[in-house]
Amino acid sequence: MIFRTNTPVRRTNPENVSDYTHHRNHLKEDFANRCGYCDDIFIWRVASFEIDHFIPRNKDKKPFLTIKSATDYSNLVYACRSCNNSKSNKWPTNDQNIPNHNDEGFVDPCDPDFNLQFSRLDNGQIRPNTKLGSWMYKELKFYKPHHEVIYNIEQLDKLIEESEKLLENISDNELAEKIRIVLLNMYRNYKMYTKQLGEI
């Protein structure tokens, strides 16, 4: 399956701000309340989302950004804490103008090429499609189980909502009962996944 249905697009005319954290609401909107890297939706995350500098501000405990300022909107990514902490200040090319080289480095989440690096299995697990994707998969720790769990909770949410709407418009009692049984099983799976999320 495709990794994500939409590629985030940063606004082209952001406000001038003195602190990059003032961009939080705009980033939340532009990234559709999802982590730019793993595509997890914020609703099911325990920790607050953060703002990542795609090109890191500091590298090896030294200032690294010279071309892009810390408040440059085009360099900011709305990110879950897991991905932000995993990415940290990694930038293997050591050249802020070159995000990746020899299958190591990163692709900006707002670049359509980001979608080519990964896909999803039916169970929601993220899988790399390319050598560069494999490098990012490992560095961003996409193998963590919460990505799979959050994906499945979101899919169940959608199925339950669609099934409930269908149930409202059915006059056939036998068919309605079958849908109720399906809904009950969905809710059981839903509870199982939410329990798992609390244990991760």
Assess whether 109 and 133 both reside in one domain: yes
36 & 120 share domain: yes
pLDDT at position 198, please? Answer: 64
- Average pLDDT (61-69) is 72
Asked if pLDDT for residue 47 goes beyond 90, the answer is no
The residue out of 143, 160, 184 marking a domain boundary is 143
Contact 167, 179 (CB under 8 A): yes
User: 31 and 106 share a domain?
Assistant: yes
Say if residue 122's pLDDT is above 80.
yes
- 136 and 162 housed in the same domain: no
CA dist list (Å): 197 to 65, 87, 189:
36, 22, 12
Query: Comparing C-alpha atoms, which of 112, 105, 116 is closest to residue 138?
Result: 105
- Does residue 165 form part of some domain? yes
The answer to whether residues 102 and 163 belong to one domain is no
Q: Are 185 and 110 in a shared domain?
A: no
- State the pLDDT confidence band at 112, using cuts at 50, 70 and 90: very high
- Given a cut of 70, whether residue 126 has pLDDT beyond it is yes
Cα–Cα nearest to 90, from 42, 18, 37: 37
Q: How many domains does the chain have?
A: 2
pLDDT tens track for 176-193: 777 777 777 777 776 777
Q: Are residues 48 and 132 both part of a single domain?
A: yes
Look up residue 83 and give its two tokens.
């991905």
Q: How sure is the predictor about 32, in pLDDT bands with cuts at 50, 70 and 90?
A: very high
Are 115 and 170 found together in one domain? no
- 92 in any annotated domain: yes
Same domain, 169 and 192: yes
Domain membership of residue 152 as a residue range: 147-199
User: Quick one: 58 and 102 in the same domain?
Assistant: yes
* pLDDT for 199: 60
pLDDT of residue 200: 60
Which helix (H) or strand (E) segment holds residue 83: the answer is helix 81-87
Is 29 a domain residue? yes
- Mean pLDDT score, 57-71: 76
Choose one of 116, 143, 170: the last residue of a domain.
143
Nearest partner of 82 among 126, 38, 31, 134, judged by Cα: 38
In whole angstroms, what is the distance from residue 78 CA to residue 19 CA? 15
In whole angstroms, give the CA distance from residue 151 to residue 123.
9
Question: Does 5 map to a domain?
Answer: no
**Do residues 172 and 128 share a domain?**
no
Q: Say yes or no: 152 and 55 in one domain.
A: no
Please state, rounded to an integer, the average pLDDT across all residues of the chain: 88
